[in-house]
Amino acid sequence: MIMSELIERIAHCIEFGKINTVSPYPPDMRGQEGADELTKKALAEGIDPGRILNEGMVIGMERVGKKFSENKVFVPQMLMSAKAMSTAMQHIKPFFLSGSVKRKGTFIIGTVAGDLHDIGKNLVAMMIEGAGWEVIDLGVDVNAEKFVAALKEKPGSSVGLSALLTTTMVNMEKIVQEIRGVAKETKILVGGAPVSSDFCTRIGADFYSPDPQGAVNYLNQRVA
């Protein structure tokens, strides 16, 4: 199979929520390979993991998101896509982790209170860990108290907040304020689809990045 065809099949599996060969969903792909097997195959064929991620997996998620906006698919389909994405991510993750023993510092990350989206946050965590940082991932639906408690355990850490909903991005402000209340100098990064540079400035965070690489660059340049 040629490289671009394999990458497109991965995108297709994620778009339609085809996890692996045995998964029964979607019915018209029953028995076919899913994101699991195809990602392993792509890596075995030597395809760059960055291409598999950006030209395959992320594109698949974008397509399902667009269809959701147009009311062409619903939450269950998005969940299947998210599951296919997470399964594929497990295979590419080792390629993004650096072997460096000495860590540059600690980065605490979480998706903010009320928000259960974790794919983007996981990608950011993975890239930052791969760039040589210790990452403490607090998961999803993380409130200010949990961020503050993690920071108290690891003073001097930088913090990353992710939000995917316009209704939850507002929770970032409270978290920033609470963190500033206990550790004023903490570098706070924010990101996620509805977040912007203006919003970042308005809530008193330090840096907005639209993507994981921007967050890595900021940490390496400003914090390490």
Query: Quick one: which of 208, 110, 202, 116 has its CA closest to 151?
Result: 110
Give CA–CA dist 12/48, Å, rounded.
18
Query: Which of 15, 36, 55, 118 is in the footprint of ligand B1M by CB under 6 A?
Result: 118
Query: Cβ(182)–Cβ(148) under 8 Å?
Result: yes
Nearer to ligand B1M, 82 or 179 (CB): 82
* SS3 assignment, position 16: helix
Q: Does 120 bind ligand B1M (CB under 6 A)?
A: yes
Choice from 3, 165, 170, 182 touching ligand B1M (CB under 6 A): 165
Q: Does 206 bind ligand B1M (CB under 6 A)?
A: no
| 64 is an interface residue for ligand B1M by CB under 6 A | yes
CB 107 within 8 Å of CB 195: no
x/- track of binding to ligand B1M for residues 65-94 (CB under 6 A)? x--xx-----x--xx-xx------------
Number of other residues whose CB lies within 10 A of the CB of residue 191: 25
Among 35, 92, 113, 215, binds ligand B1M (CB under 6 A): 215
- C-beta of residue 42 within 8 angstroms of C-beta of residue 4: no
Output 79 or 224, the one with its CB closest to ligand B1M: 79
Least CB distance to ligand B1M at residue 2 (A):
25
Distance CA 106, CA 117 (A): 23
Amino acid at 6: L
Q: What DSSP state is assigned to residue 72?
A: S
Report the interface residues with ligand B1M, using CB under 6 A.
Answer: 58, 61-62, 64-65, 68-69, 75, 78-79, 81-82, 114-121, 123-124, 160-162, 164-167, 189-194, 209, 211-212, 215
